[in-house]
Amino acid sequence: MTTRFKDFGTGGEVNSTPLSFKLHGEEFHCHKNLQGKALLDMATSAGKGDTNDVSYTVTNFFSKALVQESYERFLKLLDDPEKIVTIESLGEITAWLVEEYSGRPTQGPEQSLSGQ
């Protein structure tokens, strides 16, 4: 009797390039790689549209993406009444990190060679 089988090795390629971003003059360091489940959780929550779920998922995403020290500083920054971080900025940071972790940039459609 034959069996269908595939060995997925180590679970995929990992990136060794450091990942960080700057906000309000502070640099925040992220883990070089992120579990695929964290990205799936983000996508699932975004599809639901429930603001409570989305808020939790974004906070949870940052807790997994940022190294502990950076995550603690990031939360303090988000609560600082003098340094406002808009929801648009949080969305941009989240989108950028998702692109970096997934290796799939979310760019607009490319123009054709004919310009149409």
Domain boundaries, the chain: 20-102
pLDDT cut 90: percent of the chain above it: 49
11-49 core/surface letters (b: 16 or more CB in 10 A; e: else): eeeeeeeebebebeeeebbbbeebeeebbebbeebeeee
pLDDT tens-digit readout, 26-66? 999 999 999 988 888 877 776 666 666 677 878 889 999 99
Output the pLDDT for position 9.
Answer: 85
Does this model's pTM top 0.85? My answer is no
Q: What is the pLDDT of residue 109?
A: 44
- What tokens appear for 30 in the block? 């992220």
What is the average pLDDT score of the chain?
Answer: 84
CB neighbour list of residue 31: distance below 8 Å, 6 or more residues apart: 19, 64, 65, 66, 67
Q: Distance (Å, rounded) from C-alpha 95 to C-alpha 29?
A: 16
Helix axes 87-102, 36-48, angle to 10 degrees: 140
pLDDT value of residue 10: 82
- Share of residues in the chain with pLDDT > 70 (%): 81
